[in-house]
Structure 1
Amino acid sequence: MNFYKFEDEYYDKGYKNICGIDEVGRGCLFGDVVSCAIIMPKDEYIEGVDDSKKLTPKKREALYTKILESCIAVGIGRANADIIDKVNIKMATHISMINALENLRDRENKKVNADCVLIDAETIETGVFQHAIVKGDESCYSIACASIIAKVYRDDLCNKWAEKYPHYGIEKHKGYATKYHRDALKAYGPTDMHRKSFLKNMKLW
Structure 2
Amino acid sequence: CNMMTGCGIVEAGMGQVIGSMVLFGACFDEGQSASLRKIGVIDSKMLSPEERDFLFEKIIEACGGRYYAVIVSPSEIDEAVSRGELNLLEANKTAEIINFLNPDTAIIDCPDPKPDRYASKIRAMLKNKNLKILAEHKADFKYAEVGAASILAKVIRDREIEKISRKLGIDFGSGYPSDPRTAEFIQKHWNEKSLHGVIRRSWAPVRRREGEKGQMRLSEF
Q: TM-score, normalized by length of structure 2?
A: 0.74
SS in 1 for 2:67: strand
2:3, 2:29 within 8 Å by CA — same for their partners in 1?
no
Partner of 1:130: 133
Structure 1 window deviating more from structure 2 (146-155 vs 188-197): it is 188-197
Alignment of 1:10-29 (within 5 A): 16-29=4-17
For structure 1, which runs of at least 5 residues remain unmatched after alignment? 1-13, 105-112
Q: TM-score, normalized by length of structure 1?
A: 0.79
Supply the AA of the counterpart residue of 1:55.
L
SS in 2 for 1:114: coil
The percentage of aligned residue pairs carrying the same residue is: 25
Q: Report whether the alignment pairs 1:71 with 2:63.
A: yes
Within 1, Cα distance between the matches of 2:89 and 2:180? 26
The structure that has the greater radius of gyration is 2
Structure 1 window deviating more from structure 2 (115-124 vs 90-99): it is 90-99
SS in 2 for 1:176: coil
Within 1, Cα distance between the matches of 2:132 and 2:143? 17
Supply the AA of the counterpart residue of 1:66.
K
Find 1:43's aligned residue among 2, 19, 31: 31
Alignment of 1:78-117 (within 5 A): 78-88=71-81, 89-104=86-101, 113-117=102-106
Within 1, Cα distance between the matches of 2:12 and 2:187? 25
Aligned residues: 181
Structure 1 residue 165 displacement after superposition: 2.3
Within 2, Cα distance between the matches of 1:15 and 1:52? 27
Within 1, Cα distance between the matches of 2:159 and 2:55? 15
Structure 1 residue 102 displacement after superposition: 3.9
2:23, 2:70 within 8 Å by CA — same for their partners in 1?
yes
Structure 1 residue 133 displacement after superposition: 1.6
Within 2, Cα distance between the matches of 1:204 and 1:15? 53
Within 2, Cα distance between the matches of 1:96 and 1:163? 28
Q: Report whether the alignment pairs 1:195 with 2:214.
A: no
Within 1, Cα distance between the matches of 2:88 and 2:183? 25
SS in 2 for 1:125: helix
Q: Report whether the alignment pairs 1:119 with 2:111.
A: no
Distance change in 2, residues 1:95/1:195 (3 Å): farther
Pairwise CA RMSD: 2.2
For structure 2, which runs of at least 5 residues remain unmatched after alignment? 112-117, 211-221
Within 1, Cα distance between the matches of 2:71 and 2:21? 6
